[in-house]
Structure 1
Amino acid sequence: MKKLLFTLIAALFMSSLVFAQIRPYDKRGVNVFENPKVDTLKFNGIKLKVGGAFTQSWQSLQETNTAAPKLVSGVDQNKLVALSPGFNTANANLFLDTQLEDGVYLNLTMYLSSRHHNETWVKGGFIQFDKLPFLHSAFFDNIMKYATLKVGHMEINYGDAHFRRSDNGNSIYNPFIENYIMDGFATEIGAEVDVQHNGFIGVFGVTNGEIKGDVAKVAPVAGAGDGKHHPSFLGKIGFDKQLSETVRLRITGSGYYTAGAVSNTLYGGDRGGSHYFSVIENAISTSTAFSGRFNPGFTNKISSLMGNVFLKAGGFEWFTTV
C-alpha cells in the first residue's frame, strides 16, 4: 500500500513539472509560439514529465446542397450524409518529456486515439538543445544564450498557424474547434535552429520533405517527378515583443521549399483527422477522416509562403494568416 501511494504521488509530481524550454500543454501554453529561451528549472538529475490531452466534442451541425445527382455505380456522389446532434469519438494524446541534462530535453508525443487511427500512433519526437554543457565551450555557451537546436521526426515550424491549431486530443491552444480549410501542418525528419534575441526571431530548418522515412528507389515519372528524395528547406523571420504591460505584437514571414519529393504532405500531414465529423461527405468511413478540409495534393515540388500577424491588447486578440 505504501509503495502504491508513493508511486501515485511520484506520478502526480512528474506531471506537474514545468520544463521552461518546452511549451506547456495546459492554458499556460496558449499564445506560446517558439519554445521560450528562459531557464527557470534548475537541473539536479534526470526528470520525466508525463502529460496528456483529451478532447470530447459534441457536434450539432446540419448541411444541405442543391447539386444535381451524380451517380457512380448506382451511388449519388453529391448526396450528403444526413447529420444529427451527438457526441464524436474522443481524441487523446500522450506526452513524455525528459530533461536529460542542463538545457537538454527529449520529447515524445503519441496519439492514443484519433479519428484517422483508432489505435495508438507516434506523432513524433525530438531532442532539443538549449545548452551544450557537454562541450565545455564558452564560445558555444554564448551562442546558446540565443539559439535552440531541435533534431528529430517532428512538427515542422512553418508559419505560425500550426501553433494555434487543434492537434488531435490537444485542442486547448485553438480558440475554435477545427483548423484551417487548408491546414499547413506536417511532421518530417530533420533539424531546426531557432534564434531569439530582444524580440527578433529567426528560424532555419532542413528536413527529408516527407511524413515518414523512405529509402525505396522510385522510378521518375515524366512531368510529375524525378523520383529522388530531395531535402526540404524552411525558414522564418519575425518580431515578437511585449510592447507594454497589456500590448503584445508578433509579425512573422515563413517559407518552405523542396525541389522534389516522392510524397510530400505539407497540406495533408495531419494523422489525427478533422474535428468536424462527416461534414460535406457522401459516406461515412475511416477514409473520410478529414471532413471539411481541402488538400491541394502538392506532393512533389513545392514553394510555399505564409505571413502571420498576432496582436494582443488586454483581452482582445487578433491573429491573421496570409
Structure 2
Amino acid sequence: MRKIFQKTLVAALILGSIGVSAQSKRDLDNYRYTDKRGVNVFEAPKTLDSNFDGLKVRLGGSFALQYQGISHENSGSVRLQPIGANFNLATANLDIDVALYDGVSMHLRTFLSSRHHHETYVKGGYLQVNKLDFIKEGFMEDFMKYTTIKVGHMENNYGDAHFRRTDNAQSLHNPFVGNLIMDSYTTEVGAEVLVRKNGFIGMVGVTNGKLNQSVEKTEETLADGTYEEGRSGGASFLAKLGYDKQINNDLRIRITGSMYNTGYVPNSYLYAADRAGSRYYGVMIAADAASDDFRSGRYNPNLKNSISAIMFNPFIKYKGLEFFGTVETATGKATAELEDRTANQLAGELIYRFGKNENLYIGGRYNMVDAEDMTHGDIEIKRSQLVAGWYMTNNILMKMEYVNQKYEGFGATSTLEQGKFNGVILEAAISF
C-alpha cells in the first residue's frame, strides 16, 4: 500500500509541476476543458477558427480523494463486511492531448491509480478530425464545417449522462460524488461521425462491441456435450439525435435521444465497463468475500450477448438553476437465455449554482432502477442524493454528498436482501 501511495503522490507532483510551468498557451482547438470551464459541455466544441502553429502537446491530469462515512445493513441472511469512516485510496489520471495538424488532434487518458486497478493502465484514446486539410487544403470543407470524426479505442458517445459522470479521478464535471446506478459507459474500438448545425445534433457510430480486445473465438458447449466454434466478435451500432441551443443569455435547452444496439457480442460491458470502480467503497459486500466488489452500489443487468439500449436526456439551464434527466431502457439476454429481459432507469437532478461565477452549488438527484434480474426476478433499486459543492478555483472542487440507497426484491442468498446503505462522502478533486 505504501508503494501505491508513493507512486500516486509522485505522479501528482509531476502533473502539478507540469501544470504550473505550462499554464500559458495550454488551450487547444476543439477541446473540452477538464476544469470548471468544461462543466455542462457535452461533445467537444467545434470551431472554424484555428490557432494551430505546429505540433503541440498538452499534458494534464486529475487527482481525487474522498473521506467516506457510510453504513450499510441487510436482512442478515448473508453477513456484510464491517465498514467504517476513513479515507479511500486516492485516484489519479494522466491526460495527453496533442494538436497533430490543423483540425486534427489526439487524446489519451491513463489511470495512474484507481479502485480496481491500483497499477497504471490506459483507459483509451482516439484521433479527432475536424478538418481534412491534411488530404488537400479545403478538402470537403463545406461538409467538415459541421462535422467531427472520431476513431480509436474510446468511450462510446451513448447518451448524455456519460459527459457528467466521474471518470476515475476526473470529477470536476460531476456535481455529485457517485455516478448513476446503471452506469452506461464502455470503451470499444470504433468510429463516430458527429454533425452539428444550427443547434441540431446527429451522430452515427460503429464499434466491435468488445471492451477487452482479442482475436480468440468463443467456444460453445452443445446439448450433446460436443463443442461448436463460436465467433471472435460482433458489432455495436450507436446513434444520437438532438437539439442544443442557447436561447438567450439566461436560458439554454438541450434534449437528445441515443441508442446502442448489438446483434451479438461475446460479452457486453455497457453497464460493467468502468474498471476504475464505484465511489461507494465496500458497501453491500459479504463478510467472507474473497475480494473487493469494485462495482459496489451499482447494478449491471447482465445482458451479456445481445443488447438494445435507448436513452433520453433533457437538459435545461435557466440562470443558475439547471435540470438534467435520464430516461433509459435496455433489453437483451445471454445466449443461454430463452427470452429477453428488460431493465429501466430514471434519474432527475436539480442543481442551483450561485456565487461569483457560479462557484458554489447545491442540488439533489433521485435515481431509480427496476429490472428483470436473471437470478432474482423483478427487482428495484432506489437512490437519493443531496450535494453541496465549492469551486475554490477553476481547477479545485470540494463537494459533500449525502446518499441513501435501498434494494427491493433480492432473494435470501443475496447480500442485497432488504439491503440499504446511507451516509456522507466528502470529496476533494483537482483537474488541469
Alignment TM-score, normalising by the size of structure 1: 0.90
Distance 1:28 1:126 in 2: 22
Amino acid at match of 2:56: K
Q: State yes or no: 1:310 paired with 2:310.
A: no
Deviates more, 1:258-267 or 1:34-43: 34-43
Residues 60, 197 of structure 1: CA spacing in aligned structure 2 closer, same or farther, 3 A cutoff?
A: same
**Which has a greater percent of strand?**
2
CA contact (8 A) 1:221 1:227 kept: no
CA contact (8 A) 1:14 1:49 kept: no
Amino acid at match of 2:310: L
CA contact (8 A) 1:15 1:49 kept: no
Within the candidate set 278, 302, 308, 1:274 is matched to: 278
Gaps of 5+ in 1: 1-7, 70-77
Partner of 1:254: 258
Structure 1 ranges of 4+ moved more than 6 A: 8-11
Distance 1:139 1:9 in 2: 37
Classify the secondary structure of the residue corresponding to 2:22.
helix
Deviates more, 1:307-316 or 1:12-21: 12-21
Classify the secondary structure of the residue corresponding to 1:249.
strand
Partner of 1:5: none
Residues 45, 285 of structure 1: CA spacing in aligned structure 2 closer, same or farther, 3 A cutoff?
A: farther
Classify the secondary structure of the residue corresponding to 2:95.
strand
Residues 286, 172 of structure 1: CA spacing in aligned structure 2 closer, same or farther, 3 A cutoff?
A: farther
Distance 2:314 2:123 in 1: 28
Distance 1:43 1:164 in 2: 29
Partner of 2:44: 35
Q: CA deviation digits over 1:19-47, x for unaligned, max 9?
A: 13121111111111111112455111100
Distance 1:63 1:177 in 2: 18
CA contact (8 A) 1:116 1:286 kept: no
Residues 40, 52 of structure 1: CA spacing in aligned structure 2 closer, same or farther, 3 A cutoff?
A: farther
Residues 14, 101 of structure 1: CA spacing in aligned structure 2 closer, same or farther, 3 A cutoff?
A: farther
CA contact (8 A) 2:313 2:324 kept: yes
Within the candidate set 223, 243, 246, 2:247 is matched to: 243
Distance 2:298 2:19 in 1: 42
Amino acid at match of 1:189: V
CA contact (8 A) 2:159 2:256 kept: yes
Within the candidate set 315, 319, 322, 2:324 is matched to: 319
What displacement does 1:95 show?
0.1
Distance 2:90 2:18 in 1: 27
What displacement does 1:63 show?
1.6
Classify the secondary structure of the residue corresponding to 1:62.
strand
What displacement does 1:64 show?
2.1
CA contact (8 A) 1:14 1:50 kept: no
Residues 92, 41 of structure 1: CA spacing in aligned structure 2 closer, same or farther, 3 A cutoff?
A: farther
Amino acid at match of 1:103: G
Q: CA deviation digits over 1:203-257, x for unaligned, max 9?
A: 111001011222112124569x953511110000000010110111000000011
Distance 1:221 1:247 in 2: 58
Partner of 2:411: none
Distance 2:52 2:76 in 1: 66
Q: State yes or no: 1:154 paired with 2:163.
A: no
Residues 81, 9 of structure 1: CA spacing in aligned structure 2 closer, same or farther, 3 A cutoff?
A: closer
CA contact (8 A) 2:48 2:145 kept: no
Distance 1:233 1:261 in 2: 12
Partner of 2:131: 131
Residues 203, 222 of structure 1: CA spacing in aligned structure 2 closer, same or farther, 3 A cutoff?
A: farther
Alignment of 1:1-322 (within 5 A): 12-13=21-22, 17-65=26-74, 67-69=75-77, 78-136=78-136, 138-220=138-220, 227-283=231-287, 286-322=291-327
CA RMSD of aligned residues (A): 2.0
CA contact (8 A) 2:189 2:207 kept: yes
Classify the secondary structure of the residue corresponding to 1:143.
helix
Q: How many residues align?
A: 305
Distance 1:80 1:238 in 2: 44
CA contact (8 A) 1:162 1:185 kept: yes
Distance 1:39 1:18 in 2: 15
Alignment TM-score, normalising by the size of structure 2: 0.67
Distance 1:46 1:222 in 2: 55
